[in-house]
Structure 1
Amino acid sequence: MLLLGIDVGTSSIKVSVVDAQTQKTVASAQYPETESAITTLQPGWAEQSPDMWWQHVQQALKTCNQSGKYNPQDIAAIGIAYQMHGLVLVDKDQNLLRDSIIWCDSRAVEIGEQAFNAIGHDKCLSHLLNSPGNFTASKLAWVKQNEPEVYAKIDKIMLPGDYIAMKLSGEITTSVSALSEGVFFDFVNNTISKDIINHYGFSESFFPPIQPVFSNHGGVLPSVAQQLGLKAGIPIAYKAGDQPNNALSLNVLNPGEVAATAGTSGVIYGVSDELTYDPQSRVNTFAHVNYTEQQKSLGVLLCINGTGSLYRWTKNLFGAAVSYQQMNSEAAKIPLGSDGLRILPFGNGAERMLNNELIGVHFHHIDLNLHTQAHIFRAVQEGIASAFRYGVDIMRENGMNPTVIRAGKANLFLSNLFAQTFVNATGIPVELYNNDGSVGAALGAGIGAGIFASPQEAFRQMQPLQLIEPNNDAFEPVYQEWKGLLLKQLSISE
């Protein structure tokens, strides 16, 4: 029996077909091979076309099917992971009304801050576990204020994964986890937030039916099944944001367990069983994939917008002929501390852990007679690791003290240098696993369809590839200098 996982990323779509019995990947494909475009109509804005996502999903699945390694008719359930916080709007005929305002778009920061003040900081933090900030609810309020002709046609609002599920099945659903990541959910009253609805003047009819993350979110339409080589009616049995899904894929489900990822953005995601929040909303709390009213499982999320996106920008700056592997190899030849070069990696939208400041990327202490492209490659990795350390210290302030972090051996964690620098910067060992978001989504589908009796059964074959432990404390002076530069830049931005 086979399971299909679809990961709707910012850079590309990845699909994987997994054997339910062995939990092994049978085949996978990614589309496009180059990174998907982000439309930036104004500084700080970021949009993508949901139709582009759907086209890329179809192409990736067709490529995967063409591998000949499995019979697509044997796929029994589908799971979807997706980039979080994006706003997708459709009318009553399920037609798109505009491009999606995606997670790293900063246009609604001021709107969210006004809501935070109007509703009240204590009320927002105790009920929503977050400030409205720059999340989906505030993006919808921006559309209401600035595009009234679009707003007037809205029938349903969705997150990116909901749109792909709708294209597959014709049905639209949501979950408590999805509502919480949009900051639409009241954790105290266990309902859609009346405070958010009333403050922004939204209609509750905008929200699809609420279902558990692990449940039937619709069956594949006959016309779509024929086009994609699937069986009609296959259930979409799981939908989750990319970071809760990454945690699931690493079997991070219990209080105290922590996952990390360093893709387009960098994330530390820890599980708690308490309705916890950061008073400054620098880290955010959402319902985890296994949240229920009776068993409150929450994901505490630290996000750094500009991690892999900065490394990609650096690669493009030096030309397409330079591969990531070459960058990592060159960086490893440079001594720790990059001969004084320091980089602040914050150029991909307003950073929540910096109180929604948009400070940009900054290069410090460039010596034109000393520093080479290899120094920049290393300084970028050290700057990203320092940003993670800064965020981990915020999580420690809020009572989360991880003793080990699980991560997939992917993206920046493919670099041995980065992985060791991350561990030395944070002081926390890292277990690396051979997994990714699309595989996690496939296993989530197996849980939701009842093919696995429990999440534990879905991950019974999972074993770490590598344990990386701190091997020296020489990075601490580098971090403290980096932190001083960051604090100075933040004071200039105030």
Structure 2
Amino acid sequence: MYYIGFDIGSSSVKASLIDSESGKSIASIHEPKDEMDIISVNRDWAEQNPDFWWENVCNASKRLLKENTVASELVLGIGISYQMHGLVLVDTEGKLLRNSIIWCDSRAVDIGNKAFKELGEEKCKENLLNSPANFTASKLKWVRDNEPGIYKKAYKFMLPGDYIAYKFTGNINTTKSGLSEGILWDYKKQQPANWLLEYYDIDPSLIPDIVDTFSNQGELNSKGAQESGLQTGTPIFYRAGDQPNNALSLNVFNPGEVALTGGTSGVIYAVTDKVSGKEPVKYNNFAHVSYSEQKPIIGKLLCINGAGIQYRWLKDNLSLETNSYQTMNMLASEVPVGSDDLQILPFGNGAERMFENKTIGTQICNINLNKHTRSHICRAALEGIAFSFVYGMEILRKDGANIKVLRAGNDNLFRSEIFSNTVSTLIDQEIEIYNTTGAIGAARAAGWTHGAFNDFGEMIIKNDKVMTYHPLHNSDDYQSAYQRWKNELNRILKK
């Protein structure tokens, strides 16, 4: 028997099949073959057709079953992970009214900033733990103001994962964690933030029914089953946004545990039981998958736009003998910690929220044309990205995040010993590395809801743990290099 998990990204849909007893990953695939298109008719806009997500979910589901010779009746349940912060609108018949305004669309920035000021920063901090910013609620306000005909027809709004669950079951619902990522959950009142919608002049009845993150959220109807190739009556047992789900995939549930992602952008997701939002402009607070009124577990999410994209840019532009990260890592290992006083600030991927939305760009500092080589450039880039992670964790610590355990997937930047050792040594914490994905995590969460896996964490360790990076004893060189990097950062921030 099996569970199936889907991860609805903006580039592709990933699907994974896991064994219902051991939790072991059987197979993983993605659809489509090439990346999904993002529609951008105006600068800073980003939209996708939600039915294209559904089409790829169905294609992935059918492929996964066929290629692994698994009958649909052997799938016991479904888990869904999805790109956060998107807006999907449907009418009374459940038909789409427009493309989804997705996470990287920034048309509603001014709307959210204005709300933050007019509603009062303290109220937003205390009740929402965030600024309304450029999230789902503000995107819905943009539709109301700029597309009144569409808004008038709207029956419900949904997040991307809600829409996929609806296509499977015909039920329109959401979760507390989902509402929190749209900045629509009032942590103080433990209910949807109707007062924010009223300020935006939006009808609160547009909010879907709320179901628990781990629960039977609906069963496949005949249409959903036929289109996906799965069995009628198969339950959806789990749904969560990609970053809370990534934390779940890494067994990050408890205060002090942190999930790290080192892809194109970097993400630090620190779990805490402290319901506070002192710096809602620099990072966000979301209801974690394990959030409840009795136990309000929060995920503090800090995103670093300029992370792996910096290293990829160098790979594509250094004219390496072998165009690979392995070659770059080898070159970087030829120079000492601190790159002989060469610093790189890796922030060339737009405005950085942890710098209060300043755009400072990538900066190469103190280059000596008589001494520094491409090996220094490679090491300084890895160190600069690592230093940005450490800097972000210092911000979270100042807000009460108690960082005790760091866990990351075995991909991208965390495959580099230089990068991982630098972070581990400066934070003075081990980093546990796991082979897992969001789709695998969603499938396992479905199984957990269904009563499988008596010890969820032990199952993940047994199946996925690869290695552990330990803090190095010679930390002085790392501390000195980090301080020099911070000096350059502060100099540029003061300009």
Q: Assess same fold via TM > 0.5.
A: yes
Aligned to 2:251: 251
Asked if structure 2 preserves the Cα contact closer than 8 Å seen for 1:278 and 1:284, the reply is no
Distance in 2 (CA, whole Å) between partners of 1:225 and 1:319 is 50
Aligned to 2:389: 388
Aligned to 1:160: 160
Within-5 A mapping of 1:132-143: 132-143=132-143
What's the secondary structure of 2:79's corresponding residue? strand
What's the secondary structure of 2:299's corresponding residue? strand
**Post-superposition CA distance 1:337-364 (Å, at most 9, x none):** 4455433333445432222334444444
Distance in 2 (CA, whole Å) between partners of 1:73 and 1:121 is 52
Aligned to 2:380: 379
Distance 1:39-1:366 versus aligned 2 partners, 3 A rule: farther
Distance in 2 (CA, whole Å) between partners of 1:366 and 1:150 is 54
What letter is aligned with 2:51?
D
Distance 1:136-1:486 versus aligned 2 partners, 3 A rule: farther
Asked if structure 2 preserves the Cα contact closer than 8 Å seen for 1:388 and 1:426, the reply is no
Asked if structure 2 preserves the Cα contact closer than 8 Å seen for 1:6 and 1:442, the reply is yes
Within-5 A mapping of 1:259-408: 259-317=259-317, 322-365=323-366, 375-408=376-409
Distance in 2 (CA, whole Å) between partners of 1:145 and 1:195 is 18
Q: Which moved more, 1:482-491 or 1:268-277?
A: 482-491
Using the TM superposition, give the Cα deviation of residue 269 of structure 1 relative to its aligned residue in structure 2, in angstroms.
1.6
Distance in 2 (CA, whole Å) between partners of 1:34 and 1:366 is 39
Asked if structure 2 preserves the Cα contact closer than 8 Å seen for 1:410 and 1:436, the reply is no
Using the TM superposition, give the Cα deviation of residue 268 of structure 1 relative to its aligned residue in structure 2, in angstroms.
1.7
Pair 1:219 & 2:219 matched: yes
Distance 1:315-1:6 versus aligned 2 partners, 3 A rule: farther
What's the secondary structure of 1:467's corresponding residue? strand
What's the secondary structure of 1:302's corresponding residue? strand
Aligned to 1:482: 485
Asked if structure 2 preserves the Cα contact closer than 8 Å seen for 1:3 and 1:445, the reply is yes
Pair 1:11 & 2:11 matched: yes
Distance in 2 (CA, whole Å) between partners of 1:35 and 1:371 is 37
Distance 1:203-1:66 versus aligned 2 partners, 3 A rule: same
Using the TM superposition, give the Cα deviation of residue 238 of structure 1 relative to its aligned residue in structure 2, in angstroms.
0.5
What's the secondary structure of 2:294's corresponding residue? coil
Q: Which moved more, 1:417-426 or 1:42-51?
A: 42-51
What's the secondary structure of 1:216's corresponding residue? coil
Distance 1:110-1:484 versus aligned 2 partners, 3 A rule: farther
Distance in 1 (CA, whole Å) between partners of 2:70 and 2:267 is 34
Distance 1:486-1:15 versus aligned 2 partners, 3 A rule: same
Asked if structure 2 preserves the Cα contact closer than 8 Å seen for 1:113 and 1:131, the reply is yes
What letter is aligned with 2:57?
V
Asked if structure 1 preserves the Cα contact closer than 8 Å seen for 2:90 and 2:154, the reply is yes
Using the TM superposition, give the Cα deviation of residue 315 of structure 1 relative to its aligned residue in structure 2, in angstroms.
4.5
What letter is aligned with 2:31?
Y
What's the secondary structure of 2:28's corresponding residue? strand
Aligned residues: 492
Q: Please give the root-mean-square deviation of Cα atoms over the aligned residues, in Å.
A: 2.8
Using the TM superposition, give the Cα deviation of residue 232 of structure 1 relative to its aligned residue in structure 2, in angstroms.
1.5
What's the secondary structure of 1:285's corresponding residue? strand
Aligned to 1:421: 422
What letter is aligned with 2:211?
Q
Structure 1 stretches lacking a partner, 5+ long: none
Aligned to 2:105: 105
Distance in 2 (CA, whole Å) between partners of 1:40 and 1:363 is 31
Distance in 2 (CA, whole Å) between partners of 1:218 and 1:365 is 59
Using the TM superposition, give the Cα deviation of residue 29 of structure 1 relative to its aligned residue in structure 2, in angstroms.
0.9
Distance in 2 (CA, whole Å) between partners of 1:64 and 1:177 is 29
What's the secondary structure of 2:302's corresponding residue? strand
Aligned to 2:444: 443
Distance in 2 (CA, whole Å) between partners of 1:181 and 1:454 is 28
Using the TM superposition, give the Cα deviation of residue 43 of structure 1 relative to its aligned residue in structure 2, in angstroms.
4.5
Using the TM superposition, give the Cα deviation of residue 183 of structure 1 relative to its aligned residue in structure 2, in angstroms.
0.7
Distance in 2 (CA, whole Å) between partners of 1:366 and 1:34 is 39
Asked if structure 2 preserves the Cα contact closer than 8 Å seen for 1:105 and 1:349, the reply is no
What letter is aligned with 2:352?
E
Aligned to 2:30: 30
Using the TM superposition, give the Cα deviation of residue 34 of structure 1 relative to its aligned residue in structure 2, in angstroms.
4.8
Within-5 A mapping of 1:116-195: 116-195=116-195
Asked if structure 2 preserves the Cα contact closer than 8 Å seen for 1:29 and 1:61, the reply is no
The TM-score, its normalising length taken from structure 1, stands at: 0.90
Distance in 1 (CA, whole Å) between partners of 2:40 and 2:380 is 27
**Post-superposition CA distance 1:117-157 (Å, at most 9, x none):** 11111111111111112222122222323333333332222
Aligned to 2:197: 197
Distance in 2 (CA, whole Å) between partners of 1:476 and 1:33 is 44
Distance in 1 (CA, whole Å) between partners of 2:62 and 2:215 is 26
What letter is aligned with 2:228?
L
Aligned to 2:59: 59
Using the TM superposition, give the Cα deviation of residue 376 of structure 1 relative to its aligned residue in structure 2, in angstroms.
4.5
Distance in 2 (CA, whole Å) between partners of 1:335 and 1:40 is 44
Asked if structure 2 preserves the Cα contact closer than 8 Å seen for 1:447 and 1:458, the reply is no
**Post-superposition CA distance 1:167-220 (Å, at most 9, x none):** 222222111111111110101111111331121111112111101101122222
Distance 1:377-1:37 versus aligned 2 partners, 3 A rule: farther
Distance in 2 (CA, whole Å) between partners of 1:258 and 1:353 is 18
Aligned to 1:207: 207
What letter is aligned with 2:485?
W
What's the secondary structure of 2:465's corresponding residue? coil
Distance 1:294-1:367 versus aligned 2 partners, 3 A rule: same
Distance in 2 (CA, whole Å) between partners of 1:163 and 1:315 is 38
Q: Which moved more, 1:55-64 or 1:311-320?
A: 311-320
Structure 2 stretches lacking a partner, 5+ long: none
* Identical positions, percent: 48
Distance in 1 (CA, whole Å) between partners of 2:325 and 2:225 is 37
The TM-score, its normalising length taken from structure 2, stands at: 0.90
Distance 1:191-1:339 versus aligned 2 partners, 3 A rule: same
What's the secondary structure of 1:152's corresponding residue? helix
Using the TM superposition, give the Cα deviation of residue 442 of structure 1 relative to its aligned residue in structure 2, in angstroms.
0.5
Distance in 2 (CA, whole Å) between partners of 1:434 and 1:236 is 25
Asked if structure 1 preserves the Cα contact closer than 8 Å seen for 2:274 and 2:400, the reply is no
Distance in 1 (CA, whole Å) between partners of 2:188 and 2:267 is 26
Distance 1:363-1:202 versus aligned 2 partners, 3 A rule: farther
Asked if structure 1 preserves the Cα contact closer than 8 Å seen for 2:91 and 2:153, the reply is yes
What's the secondary structure of 1:196's corresponding residue? helix
What letter is aligned with 1:124?
C
What letter is aligned with 2:436?
N
